[in-house]
Structure 1
Amino acid sequence: METYEEALSWIHGRLRTGMKPGLARMEWMMEKLNHPERRLKAVHIGGTNGKGSTTSMLRSILQEAGYEVGTFTSPYIEQFNERISVNGQSISDDDITVLANKIRILADEMEDMPFGGPSEFEIITAMAFYYFAFVRPVDIVLFEVGLGGRLDSTNIVHPVLSIITTIGMDHIQFLGDSLADIAFEKAGIVKSGIPVITAVHQPEALDVIKRTVQEKKAALYLEGRDFNGTWTASTTGGEQFQFDSPFSKHDRLETGLAGLHQVKNAALAVMAADYLRVFYSFLIEKEHVEFGLKNTRWPGRFETLSENPLIIADGAHNEEGIKALTDTIKSRFPDKKITILFAAMKDKPLGNMIDELKSAADLLYFAPFSFPRAAQKEDYEPFASEKASVVESYAAWIRNFKERVLKDEVLVITGSLYFISDVKNQLI
């Protein structure tokens, strides 16, 4: 493959293999690549919601303290390359091409093996490990789990710290149909003796995590028990809160990400920074935490796409995410007319998500879009009503909204992050 376009086409072409849970392929590739995963100082971040925001906030704090921070995240919003980044700067097209060629040699060899060739996500994960170990070494890498945890391709890493953000009913076809089952998969990232920081609160999920941590002889730092983030006010661009842990106290912190739920994500990030400072001698001062949080930016998380008219994009792609979004809408815009444009995957609990959106929306529109698992017109029609309808072309609909919008009207575009990516790339 000589060009970036060819490399990207090959990587995306591996989607045909589907999801392939298990670590055998990753372990084989890591051995062939001289075990890059063993050369990294890493934080492993799993959970149902909040992984991306927590990763972004912790990166920003560490970067403010002068460290070079690698991040591996998914999915991307604006460009594929952002999945592998250093201090928020995406990997170059040339490096993607070189890495893809290196991994393809292994992928071709694996086709004839019992476990078969790697999936798209496994290829990207292997590229990230090799990049941070040998091509662009950094001080620390933040690895975001792709799906679940126990069998996720990132779970070959042996981190210095693990974070489990929240647990919710998502991807039940892969992870199980109870909170306990899903917690078991998420807790699969817990390693022997490696501390865990979490904001999980449901008793049945927390019991699983506590039991796993005890079995692994690891320390557990629980939000609400061992550290606290207490919301105090909303600002134009974020949330204010107080924070206290066994290691620090902040009377006033402010997030650069809006949404009441971001306080918990921020508290996780601050607690992680505390841990790295106290136990790994990271030189993180109070002002690094303060400025790092305030300067955090993360696309697709209650992101303002337009000031006039006010258009907000939020990748709330499951029930818990939708509930957090509607709480934020009601808190921030109690006197505004709210119009919501929604697009989700057809394997999500559409009825529950739509009912929650209706509680915050004056008008609700459903947007079919081009993606293999995206819900289409026929999936939305059972939920249509006088105040909820399907649009034929969301691009044309948004242009029309901009022309006719009323002074006190807010448009919230939400649902799948793939949809948010589509909207941003095409229209904004």
Structure 2
Amino acid sequence: MQIQNYAEALAFIHGRRKFTKSPDLARMRKFAHYLGDPQQKVKFIHVTGTNGKGSTVAYLSNLLQSQGFTVGTFTSPFITRFNERIAINGIPIADEKLVELVQKIKPVVERLDAEYAGEGPKEFEVVTMLMFLYFAEIVPDYAVVEVGIGGTYDSTNILTPVLSVITEVALDHTQILGDTLAQIAQVKAGIIKAKRPVVVGALDAESLQVITQVANEKEAKLYTTPSDYSWSLAKTQDFWGQIFTYNGFGKSYRKLKIKLLGDYQVANASLALSAFLCLAQLEKFTPRESEIRKALITTSWPARFELINEEPLVVLDGAHNLDAVKKLAQILKTRFSERQIYVVMSVLADKRAPEMFACLQALPNVTLSAVEFDAPRAVADFEFLQGDGAIKYYSDWREVLPIVLREMSADDMLLFTGSLYFVSEVRNYFV
């Protein structure tokens, strides 16, 4: 059946198998080959890591655009509409173009289904191929591509980047990637390519050792912090934003500003800036400091400690795993200790829900509610909450909203957090 419109195109994409692990990239390479190997026609920057990928991509894309480059981005998941995942200079792919590209790949998907006994490309492979085809057609100066899960066998990993970026390594997707930091680091290091530089964020010693070994084996120049670049927070800070100093790659910038909260966002911005400066040396263009400053301060990323309303203060943060929740708790401790904070959280079943809730429950100024939502994957069953009267449970997050709003004072905060799917649903309600 021919794809006729946008709804049918999305139905085709989402109708493919989901969340299954491929043992290798042979099928993905064949998929690309049948379509003319579009992944060979663009300069890519490949980004992986447990957390911080989306923010790092946003900063890096903005930095490149500030110098006049046309930049493609590939991210996941989407917050408002599917098209956001594939964009040029921040403009999502048009509905009509998406339909056209789905029409182009559908016969190839069906061919692979036949060749692989019904086990043809899964959903993320299809979305990845749509991205490759779109960028090969537009040919941006650079395309910044975020890995889906892991690295080695992620469908994006058929590309050969001009530069690789690894944000951080933490325990997440352990059923797929491994249950130790070393195992997960090994998978993340799979995006490192022979003699292509790689810039990494602040890594634990175990992960750094693994990634250094892979980089050495592939003769890939490795740039790390604090050896090759560093950052430090300024003594005085804005209420909603952060000021920091950066040193690296022969540059020193004082009083850089970003509007995303959290020390980890300064780390993400510094990593993106390092990747940008590394690329400038590699590609021999001269960065302009004034444009760098403007790019950083104007970068935003939906659902990452995002201010939705000021009075009362309503914030969204997609802290979807334990590592991210720990970072969120640190923001609440250092920036909002004087406020009563009402936290509404929902977590997917494959995450460490009890530990995530316990991390926030330990804060003395937090009132915590657990909620259900319409998720594409199983939500945590919250059985661990039985007998814990301090955490309230609601079968629908909309139930808790009027209750909390009645209890809140003008100086309190309402924070929705947990799964990005959940935060996306809430954001669509507010925005």
* 27-36 vs 186-195, which moves further: 27-36
Select the residue among 204, 207, 212 that pairs with 2:206: 204
Counterpart residue number, 2:225: 223
Counterpart residue number, 1:337: 340
Counterpart residue number, 1:190: 192
* 106-115 vs 313-322, which moves further: 106-115
TM-score w.r.t. the length of structure 2 is: 0.95
Counterpart residue number, 2:216: 214
Counterpart residue number, 1:142: 144
Counterparts in 2 of 1:179 and 1:316: CA distance versus 1, 3 Å: same
Shift of residue 397, structure 1, vs aligned partner = 1.7
Counterpart residue number, 1:261: 264
Counterparts in 2 of 1:415 and 1:143: CA distance versus 1, 3 Å: same
Does the residue aligned with 2:134 lie in a helix, a strand or coil? helix
Distance in 1 (alpha carbons) for counterparts of 2:337 and 2:180: 34
TM-score w.r.t. the length of structure 1 is: 0.96
What is the RMSD of the two structures over their aligned residues, measured on CA atoms?
Answer: 1.6
* 403-412 vs 73-82, which moves further: 403-412
Does the residue aligned with 2:104 lie in a helix, a strand or coil? helix
Deviations 1:376-411 (A, max 9, x none): 5x4245366232111132113223433442122101
- Count, aligned residues: 426
* 2:373 equivalent to 1:369: yes
Does the residue aligned with 1:14 lie in a helix, a strand or coil? coil
Counterpart residue number, 2:247: 244
Counterparts in 2 of 1:203 and 1:101: CA distance versus 1, 3 Å: same
Distance in 1 (alpha carbons) for counterparts of 2:386 and 2:274: 42
Counterpart residue number, 1:69: 71
Distance in 2 (alpha carbons) for counterparts of 1:255 and 1:17: 34
Structure 1 segment 297-312 matched on structure 2, within 5 A: 297-312=300-315
Mark the runs of 5 or more structure 2 residues left unpaired by the alignment.
none
Does the residue aligned with 2:16 lie in a helix, a strand or coil? helix
* 2:95 equivalent to 1:93: yes
Counterpart residue number, 1:6: 8
Select the residue among 122, 125, 137 that pairs with 1:122: 125
* 18-27 vs 362-371, which moves further: 18-27
Distance in 1 (alpha carbons) for counterparts of 2:177 and 2:150: 7
* 148-157 vs 380-389, which moves further: 380-389
Distance in 1 (alpha carbons) for counterparts of 2:214 and 2:387: 44
Counterpart residue number, 1:271: 274
Distance in 1 (alpha carbons) for counterparts of 2:397 and 2:19: 30
Distance in 2 (alpha carbons) for counterparts of 1:137 and 1:305: 35
Shift of residue 316, structure 1, vs aligned partner = 0.7
Shift of residue 8, structure 1, vs aligned partner = 0.4
Distance in 2 (alpha carbons) for counterparts of 1:247 and 1:311: 41
Deviations 1:95-140 (A, max 9, x none): 1111111111111111111373101100000000010011x22110
Counterparts in 2 of 1:72 and 1:17: CA distance versus 1, 3 Å: closer
Deviations 1:343-383 (A, max 9, x none): 1111111121111111235210001112243325x424536
* 2:54 equivalent to 1:52: yes
Q: Kindly report structure 1 stretches of 4+ aligned residues shifted beyond 6 Å.
A: none
Deviations 1:178-233 (A, max 9, x none): 00000000000000001111114211111100000000001111022210021224
User: What letter matches 2:278 in structure 1?
Assistant: Y
Distance in 2 (alpha carbons) for counterparts of 1:324 and 1:306: 22
Select the residue among 347, 356, 362 that pairs with 2:350: 347
